[in-house]
Structure 1
């Protein structure tokens, strides 16, 4: 970093230059941040330079560069005081009129449009700025991503006087970025040694990912520090909780941005220590979170898995109630409701008046949905035992209190219902009628939740097909690949009618989906054989719809016929017959 500052300072101090500097480094490594935020002192020392910065991303004609630089998206001024006003004259006249000296910074050389060659862009920059007008110019690039690598190597000798490899002082940039987030900055100052140890666990970090992560953490920390939440803990305990959340979000955010996982199912398998032991990303790459925990004492001691925060990172939904419940479970934080039930649960160790008082608190909390709904069946057995032994008198209906309370609790709490084994481990083999009724109610609630979630996901998939949004299509494919019920939901609610209205491109995208989800999987019968009956149902409905649709043109009819043939292949494949 100091070498880079020294080279730039020397470059700015020269009266006339006919060459540019090139700063080379990986994407997200902090190059642009450094230029915009870490050169203030040099600009004054070297003769009152001002920075004019622009990205070359998307440039498709060299001659468009001047108009791009003159537009309102072109900031100039001191690095911390960019002015985005459009230029009132052409660029060169503007520069001539300025008493201050100009440093022109052109970023993202590797991101110019494919129609535009690197050689033509550099030649244009050299002609109009560097050679004839002696304008100090810095070009920022990631040379490893420049497609015309050989041509670039040749021409940069004529245009670029020196290339400096950007080796960021990661910790310094990290501290600078965190200073923009008040809640995190205060937290960092209190725990800087621990947090520095977490940050340095990664050899290289994309700083765009850090900003993405800090946006999430700032919202979470603001809620936990100042929001009206049900955490009632000492400051030291809250700090421990925030440390655990910081560590989890730091790792989960970086791994998500790297593409290590994309769905909540994969996040559990990879990020949850109790599950990740049984999960491998592939045969050659071990679980990255396990590796970090193994190699970093700080992370190993502070790490906790949060399903609610994983969901926040993946899809942007922040379930505050779910986070609070997870925190309470992980840090054994008990409110008066939990403490009171603890007395009820271990009644042999308490005096009867204390038990009676606690029962009043517990039954009120039950009716108001104050407990995790998965606890209700067990709690019913505990309370019923006290009533059967006539330690407590209760004039109301225990059955109604629990059933109605369970309804309220389920709607108040966002449950992780995807994993059936985790869900069922909360229940015992009791045959007590009300207990069984409570368990069955929870199972039905779980079924409806999953059903609604899957139906919503199918809606998203069809909308993605309509828009030809390949990113959303891929997200839906990833979701249903692990659930084995794609056609079960696709065959519902006359969705085949929507297929008749899809564009031909969208119909082709559906065929790509079928290939990706089924035909490319050699052992698809092990996972998807149960879907065959729904595939046949969807095919039959689509066939009828096609026959009844008289206005479908010949080309679209052929496209849909192709889909029907592809579905036949998929059915044969998942039933493990010969295609």
Structure 2
């Protein structure tokens, strides 16, 4: 696309076309960058001198005339060899003359005489230079028509530029964003003038990615603190991530790179090792890129939505998307659609992105408020990607590679490993692994230190008593694969089963408490209950029957909810809750006895009988196999 545009402009410059060539495209698509940077070779080969004029904020035709003259004169001076920097000096002097408005009352008549002489000199200089120059080899580039302050000037400006094109026999490039004019009063003026003065128009924007990669090259290639290897990584990952965006805004990209260079500069003299610096710079780039893009292009309905994702790895975000969406729903500062759009746009597409991306509060502060906490940034990234490995974990790894050691070295590792866990709060799995390592060394006669195994086992059993139900089910039983000693296996399995049963009943008691106290949302959020234990057994053991012969609406509502939603309306309820049958019968008998009390409030009696009807209905559902 870009090469086609270059070819089109090349043909235009070599043609006898007497009208203008328009390059039209959205803001931030790289039109100005393209004209100023990508056409240099064509201008050189065709021997055209570009004269660039921005119309941003123009309110009078005189401003346009003055700016065009100034830029043409500057170009002529450069062509003639401006070794004394007269271009900038002349421009400064002419600006001072034009803007001076000094009265004779303040300084005397001599100042006006001097100014008149200076203005005359300026005009003569202009005329002399313009007369000698071959203006046919100029290409006048007018940019930002849509940013003119007074849109009524558009036909006048286009007409003036077209007259110059005809008088000088030069070429005219018009750079614009025509769509931005459609809602303005000046669009009709532009439309009419366009038909009269513009011959060909090129829609720009399809090749913005190439411009973006060139800008990345300009900012980062050769930048102090950016190694060649890091530069190529950034170029490759940027090429991929740019494809994920619905559009590319080069102004946003420049903001991303400018912000990133702040981080790079802060790390130039840091004491980080090469691996740490590389990780910090990779993660910082991606975090700055995504957060800046989301903020600058208005992709977030709430800026605080990003906070839900802070310090989560990309895999954690992808595999817990539903949980994050629920969290966003419950959090007034976040928006569920924001989270969904972020995950769907960026995550799970490129492995290199997922392996290095983090949403960081320090980056958000940098993007929004230009405040950089470099130490906090380094700590956040290292904690996730390069966590400090505890001494005992490093020694365990060494012990597993004992075949590469001498007897002295292995003994040293064994001593250090045992000492490293003294007085330390070591996780169950690691304690058990150390126990198994030492036990294995004892078995193969390579244990060179004294190990008090019963004491170590006591620590392991104590850790088991602190486990949750999920920890027992997932990590606990899985750890049994790491031991071959039958006695150890039996001891640990029995402890895990005992803990599983205890945590399960505790969990179900908590569920019963939520249910019967009207905390239905907590009950539902917590998860599954009463798969092995009976709700009715728990109520019988804790004499909760009293709640149902009083005015306790929560107890009535909670039990009705459980019976209807967890049993009556569930097709396979009999496979899950059939163990409730025995205790349902006992609970029904107690309720019948309570309703036989002649002094029981008649309304309460009605409600109890209503509840009994629901229990009997649930009982029938659970009795589908014919078992009571």
TM-score by length of 1: 0.52
Secondary structure in 2 aligned to 1:289?
A: helix
**Residue 251 (str. 1) matches residue 251 (str. 2):** no
Find the counterpart in structure 1 of residue 213 from structure 2. 175
SS at match of 1:53: strand
Residues 268 and 276, structure 1, Cα contact 8 Å, conserved in 2: no
The alpha-carbon distance between structure 1 residues 54 and 194, as it changes in their structure 2 partners (threshold 3 A), is: same
Instruction: Report what 1:460 is aligned to.
Output: none
Task: Show the counterpart of 2:22.
Answer: 22
1:139 aligns with 2:174: yes
Q: Does structure 1 retain, via aligned residues, the 8 Å contact 2:283–2:381?
A: no
Q: State the superposition RMSD in angstroms.
A: 4.0
> Residue 141 of structure 2 contacts residue 173 of structure 2 at CA under 8 Å; is this kept in 1?
yes
CA shift, 1:68, in A, is: 2.5
Q: 2:284 & 2:188 partners in 1: Cα distance?
A: 47
Alignment match of 1:125 (pick from 151, 161, 174): 161
Matches within 5 A, 1:418-433: none
Provide the rounded CA distance (Å) in 2 between the counterparts of 1:118 and 1:284.
42
1:75, 1:314 → 2: CA distance?
Answer: 39
* Partner residue, 1:227: 269
1:185–1:155 Cα change, 3 Å: farther
Q: 1:203 to 1:263 in 2, by over 3 A?
A: closer
CA distance in 1, matches of 2:335, 2:20: 45
The answer on whether the counterparts of 1:109 and 1:118 sit within 8 Å (CA) in structure 2 is: yes
Instruction: Decide whether the 8 Å contact of 2:59 with 2:148 is kept in 1.
Output: yes
Q: Structure 1 residues 116, 349: CA separation in 2 closer, same or farther (over 3 Å shift)?
A: farther
Shift of 1:324: 1.3
Partner of 2:145 in structure 1? 109
Over 3 Å counting, the alpha-carbon distance change for 1:256 and 1:93 in structure 2 is farther
CA distance change for structure 1 residues 18 and 222 in 2, over 3 Å: closer, same or farther? same
Q: In structure 2, how many angstroms separate the alpha carbons of the residues matched to 1:351 and 1:270?
A: 37
Asked if residue 206 in structure 1 is aligned to residue 227 in structure 2, the reply is no
Contact residue 73 and residue 129 of structure 2 kept, 8 A: no
**CA distance in 1: counterparts of 2:261 and 2:383, whole angstroms:** 23
- The unaligned stretches of length 5 or more in structure 2 are 95-121, 318-322, 396-413, 426-458, 460-628
1:152 aligns with one of 190, 196, 199: 190
The aligned counterpart of 1:242 is 281
State how far apart, in whole Å, the 2-side matches of 1:159 and 1:23 are.
14
- 1:527-569 CA distances to partner (integer Å, 9 max, x unpaired)? xxxxxxxxxxxxxxxxxxxxxxxxxxxxxxxxxxxxxxxxxxx
Output the CA distance in 2 between the equivalents of 1:41 and 1:122. 27
CA contact (8 A) 2:56 2:148 kept: yes
Pair 260,192 (structure 1): closer, same or farther in 2 beyond 3 Å: closer
Structure 1 residues 109-137: Cα deviation after superposition (integer angstroms, max 9, x where no partner): 0000036432222223223x123333311
Q: 1:138 to 1:222 in 2, by over 3 A?
A: same
- The 1:217/1:349 distance shift into structure 2, 3 A limit, reads farther
Q: How many residue pairs align between the two structures?
A: 346
1:162 equivalent to 2:210? Answer no
- Whether the 8 Å CA contact 1:102–1:135 is kept in 2: the answer is yes
Q: Take 1:74 and 1:251, find their aligned partners in 2: how far apart are those partners? A: 44
Instruction: Give the equivalent residue in structure 1 for 2:549.
Output: none
Give 1:162 shift.
0.7
Change (3 A) 1:271 1:132: farther
- Quick check: which one's helix share is greater? 2
Matching residue of 2:350: 297
Residues 1:267 and 2:306 aligned together:
yes
Which residue of structure 1 aligns with residue 371 of structure 2?
A: 317
Give the 3-state SS of the residue equivalent to 1:117 in structure 2. helix
Q: Using the TM superposition, give the Cα deviation of residue 240 of structure 1 relative to its aligned residue in structure 2, in angstroms.
A: 4.2
Following superposition, the deviation at residue 18 of structure 1 comes to: 2.4
1:38-57 counterparts in 2 under 5 A?
A: 38-46=38-46, 48-57=47-56
Contact 2:391-2:420 at 8 Å conserved across structures: no
State the distance in 1 between where 2:60 and 2:26 align.
25
Cα pair 1:104 1:138 within 8 Å, conserved: yes
Deviations 1:284-320 (A, max 9, x none): 7764321223462243343211111111011000001
Q: 1:242 to 1:105 in 2, by over 3 A?
A: same
Deviations 1:435-479 (A, max 9, x none): xxxxxxxxxxxxxxxxxxxxxxxxxxxxxxxxxxxxxxxxxxxxx
Instruction: Specify the SS of the correspondent of 2:201.
Output: strand
CA contact (8 A) 2:52 2:71 kept: no
CA distance in 2 between counterparts of 1:283 and 1:314 reads 22
Q: How does 1:352-391 map to 2 (within 5 A)?
A: none
Segment drifting more, 258-267 vs 24-33: 258-267
Deviations 1:253-282 (A, max 9, x none): 111111235986343147776695343876
Q: How does 1:560-571 map to 2 (within 5 A)?
A: none
Asked if structure 1 preserves the Cα contact closer than 8 Å seen for 2:30 and 2:205, the reply is no
Partners of 2:359 and 2:387 in 1: CA distance: 17
SS of alignment partner, residue 52 of structure 1: strand
Contact kept, 8 Å, 2:305 with 2:335, in 1: the verdict is no
Give the distance between the partners of 1:58 and 1:74, measured in 2 at CA: 22
1:222 Cα deviation after fit = 3.2
Contact 1:57 1:112 in 2 (8 A): yes
- Cα deviation for residue 21 of structure 1 reads 1.0
Following TM superposition, by how much is the alpha carbon of 1:227 offset from its aligned partner in structure 2, in angstroms? 2.6
Instruction: Provide the rounded CA distance (Å) in 1 between the counterparts of 2:203 and 2:366.
Output: 36
Map of 2:328 onto structure 1: 279
- Unaligned ranges ≥5, structure 1: 360-388, 390-579
Match of 2:547 in 1: none
8 Å contact from structure 2 (residues 51, 71) kept in 1: no
Deviation at 1:171, TM superposition (A): 3.4
1:56 positional shift:
0.1
Shift of 1:193: 3.0
Q: Is the 8 A contact 2:18 2:166 kept in 1?
A: yes
What are the within-5 Å matches in structure 2 for residues 467-482 of structure 1?
Answer: none
**Alpha-carbon distance, 1:322 to partner:** 0.8
Contact persistence 1:109–1:141 (CA under 8 A): yes
C-alpha distance in structure 1 between counterparts of 2:310 and 2:189, whole Å = 44
**Structure number, greater radius of gyration:** 2
SS in structure 1 opposite 2:236? Answer: helix
